[in-house]
Amino acid sequence: MHRKGRNNAVAAATDEVGCPWAIGAMEGGHKSILPELGTFADFENLVSQARSHQLEIALDIAFQCAPDHPYVAEHPEWFRKRPDGTVQYAENPPKKYQDIYPFDFECADWPALWTELKSIFEFWIDRGVRTFRVDNPHTKPFPFWEWCLGDLKRQHPDLIFLAEAFTRPKVMYRLAKLGFTQSYTYFAWRQSARDLTEYCTELTQTAVAEYFQPNFWPNTPDILTAELQTGGRPAFVRRLILAATLSSSYGVYGPPFEHLWSVAREPDSEEYLDSEKFEIQHHDWQRPDSLQTLIAMVNRIRREHPALQTNGGLRFHPVDNERLLCFSKSSVAGDQRVLIVVNLDNEITQAGFVNLPLQEWGLDATRPFAVHDRLTDARYEWRGPRNYVELHPHPWPAHILEVRPGMG
């Protein structure tokens, strides 16, 4: 459910729509479906059809309410109040959400509130949902998540909870320790070779890796980075490949990503001008510049290479050009290795020599060996630990190279 609100951009062509993060309306709340969207029978059919295609339905959970949510009238004691008795709207600095009422997790009736919020998860679990993306969990008390997620996972060990928390690292790590299966990260803002190397090394080669499972997103409904605003198609292709190969889990906010949306609401803003949070969009699924084919190809490469589905096997390798990033991933068994080289420049062809640990990989440095680019199907003969790479920004700013002992 979402609160309805006037949408000036498309008002002439559509009815009123609103922000899906302002949950609820007169028709119902967190356990309801807006009648215009269908019925519970339709939802159950959606879940069934998705499973027939080996897909799962993930549900966004936002613990907050629109002013006309039934909870507001039925349980006014559950909401934060100002000294004058009016309901205090939500804030997540620097943002303010005047159309959202936040729950007061420490109100006098907190046991009933906590139980009701946990029951929202249970309601949708009973209808076949096993994956939940939780909105702004860092603005809710840690004890609530420890109790809620712990109890739910004891009953349903297969549940997945994704923490949408762009906040201080210690807070993000604490949420992971409290039970969140996966977490959003700072990947969107790590763009140089040095920044990516340091950040990914922290996530995969330190104690953080024991409890924090990163999920890399190049964009979200709230994040359109300057790199995507100005970098054109090469930036979108590069960020997709980096997200899909650096992390075992990744996602994109599409269709805006696959359709290369790059216009911000205003200068120095990371918000989309035409945001689907507030507008109904009609997409041309056949547009020739779409990244759909590339996304499908990258996902197929990930399925065929278990090394890309892990984080522990990530290693970065020296390259004599700071505009090139070189790293590899190996499978848990060590019998598969994928080498990725990425051009971080949106406009200029970049070239350099990469240095590889051939002895560690079981390759004879005195004999040639082959690498197979799974993006272009090109094959190259390399020899020794130091080999030349040249990458253009367009159409392929990256190599995803399959390397196997004995291929030469």
Selecting among 36, 104, 126, 164, the annotated active-site residue is: 164
pLDDT value for 405: 62
3-state helix, strand, coil in the chain (%, to 5): 30, 20, 45
Q: What is the mean pLDDT of the chain?
A: 90
pLDDT value for 103: 94
| Contact between residue 256 and residue 229 where contact means Cβ atoms under 8 Å apart | no
Buried b (16+ CB within 10 A) or exposed e, 19-48: bbbbbbbeeebbebeeeeeeeeeebeeebe
- What does the DSSP 8-state code read for residue 86? P
Dihedral of CA 362/364/365/369: which sign? Answer: negative
- What does the DSSP 8-state code read for residue 264? B
For residue 274, indicate whether it is catalytic.
no
pLDDT value for 279: 80
pLDDT at 121 over 70: yes
pLDDT value for 397: 97
pLDDT at 15 over 70: no
Give the range among 35-39, 349-353, 398-402 with minimum mean pLDDT.
35-39
Q: Please give the model's pTM, rounded to 2 decimal places.
A: 0.90
- pLDDT band, very low/low/confident/very high, at 243 (cuts 50, 70, 90): very high
pLDDT tens digits, 255-293: 999 999 999 999 999 999 988 877 888 899 999 999 999
Percent of the chain topping pLDDT 90: 78
The H or E element containing residue 315 is: strand 314-316
pLDDT value for 8: 29
403 by Cβ neighbours in 10 Å (0-12 / 13-18 / 19+) ranks as buried
- pLDDT band, very low/low/confident/very high, at 301 (cuts 50, 70, 90): very high
pLDDT at 17 over 70: no
Selecting among 135, 258, 345, 402, the annotated active-site residue is: 135
Of residues 351 and 278, the one with the higher pLDDT is: 351
- Distances in Å between the Cα of 148 and the Cα atoms of 39, 151, 228, 332 are 28, 5, 37, 33
pLDDT at 10 over 80: no
Taking phi over 0 as left and psi of -120 to 50 as alpha, with beta for the rest, 122 belongs to alpha
For residue 77, indicate whether it is catalytic.
no
pLDDT at 16 over 70: no
- Mean pLDDT of the region 217-223: 94
pLDDT value for 21: 59
pLDDT at 11 over 60: no
Of residues 144 and 222, the one with the higher pLDDT is: 144
- Mean pLDDT of the region 45-51: 96
pLDDT tens digits, 72-101: 999 999 998 888 877 777 776 677 777 788
pLDDT value for 63: 95
Give the range among 20-29, 302-311, 360-369 with minimum mean pLDDT.
20-29
pLDDT tens digits, 157-187: 999 999 999 999 999 999 999 999 999 999 9
